[in-house]
């Protein structure tokens, strides 16, 4: 696959980093000088799946999923010209998401599940182009539906909002909010008690996890919660639990 780098080249580069690190350690012990900063290339080798890289991939995946949904909705457009316009716009968005995957650090994509994900997305892109060229092609539509099902299996039960939770008398208590998560972005705090999800009472942590996991990533979710003695309602969009680490 285009994401996998040359193993011999990686080995040579990693050897260079190791030698440089050993040499720097000797200098530190003999002259008390500080270690030199790693170059961007060395940092990429030593930490290929940085939090920033993973965040970019997660956003690209969410963008691809939204584009697929828009492509599906084009079948219900009010006119053929409108349907064509929707399909082309969805394809452009989907193409951008694949470009982001191809630009990602190669070592980040060595996980088997991630490789499978990239393969499915690539096949979906080809099928979408076939449908755009011939919307009445039943074979292409059947293939598209099968690939969507495969993508769903890869991603199912992976939505999260980024909180650690425990039981509470009248709901579920947030014990900790994960930095950079949807929960932090929407203002959830440790100590908040989640009472309802989409007007359905939340009684146990297990129930909440199962409910959130089954919601497609990026879908608006209405939460009712108690903060101190106030009742609040907020909208949050779950994201994918990372499959890139």
Q: Residue 108 has what pLDDT? A: 52
Q: Residue 174 has what pLDDT? A: 94
Residue 197, pLDDT above cutoff 80: yes
pLDDT in tens, 120-139: 888 999 999 999 888 888 88
Q: Are 182 and 238 in contact (CB under 8 A)?
A: yes
**Scanning the structure block, which residue is given the tokens 């050897």?**
15
From the number of C-beta atoms within 10 Å of its C-beta (0-12, 13-18, 19+), residue 131 rates as buried
Residue 222, pLDDT above cutoff 90: yes
Q: Residue 209 has what pLDDT? A: 86
The mean predicted confidence, pLDDT, of the chain is 75
Q: Where are the domains of the chain?
A: 7-46, 51-155, 159-240
From the number of C-beta atoms within 10 Å of its C-beta (0-12, 13-18, 19+), residue 198 rates as exposed
Fold of 159-240: Pdz3 Domain (2.30.42)
Residue 60, pLDDT above cutoff 90: no
Q: Residue 6 has what pLDDT? A: 47
In which band, very low, low, confident or very high, does the pLDDT at 148 lie, cut at 50, 70 and 90? confident
Residues in contact with 44: Cβ distance below 8 Å, sequence separation at least 6, in sequence order: 105
List, in sequence order, the alpha helices (H) in the chain.
7-31, 40-46, 51-73, 80-102, 112-133, 138-155, 182-185, 205-213
Which tokens sit at 217?
Answer: 């990533």
Question: What does the pLDDT average to over 160-172?
Answer: 89
Q: What is the β-pairing status of strands 221-227 and 230-236?
A: antiparallel
Strands in 153-238 per DSSP E? 159-160, 163-168, 171-177, 193-197, 200-201, 221-227, 230-236
| Number of residues written out for the chain | 245
User: How many other C-beta atoms can be found within 10 angstroms of the C-beta atom of residue 193?
Assistant: 19
Q: Residue 111 has what pLDDT? A: 62
pLDDT in tens, 77-119: 889 899 999 999 999 999 998 888 777 665 455 566 677 788 8
Q: DSSP label at 216?
A: P
């Amino acid at each position: 696959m285009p994401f996998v780098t040359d193993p011999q080249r990686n080995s040579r580069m990693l050897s260079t980093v190791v030698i440089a690190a050993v040499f720097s350690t000797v200098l530190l012990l003999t002259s008390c000088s500080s270690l030199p900063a790693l170059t961007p290339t060395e940092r990429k080798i030593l930490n290929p799946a940085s939090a920033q890289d993973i965040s970019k991939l997660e956003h690209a995946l969410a963008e691809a999923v939204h584009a697929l949904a828009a492509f599906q909705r084009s079948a219900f457009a009010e006119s053929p010209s409108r349907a064509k316009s929707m399909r082309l716009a969805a394809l452009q968005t989907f193409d951008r998401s694949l470009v982001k995957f191809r630009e990602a650090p190669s070592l980040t994509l060595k996980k088997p599940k991630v490789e499978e994900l990239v393969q499915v997305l690539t096949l979906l892109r080809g099928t979408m182009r076939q449908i755009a060229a011939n919307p009445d092609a039943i074979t292409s539509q059947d293939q598209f539906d099968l690939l969507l099902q495969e993508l769903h299996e890869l991603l199912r039960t992976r939505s999260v909002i980024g909180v650690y939770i425990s039981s509470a008398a009248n709901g579920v208590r947030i014990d900790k909010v994960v930095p950079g998560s949807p929960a932090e972005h929407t203002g959830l705090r440790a100590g908040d008690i989640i009472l309802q999800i989409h007007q359905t009472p939340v009684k146990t942590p297990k129930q909440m996890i199962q409910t959130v996991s089954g919601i497609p990533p990026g879908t608006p979710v209405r939460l009712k919660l108690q903060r101190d003695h106030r009742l609040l309602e907020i909208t949050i969009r779950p994201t994918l639990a990372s499959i890139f680490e």
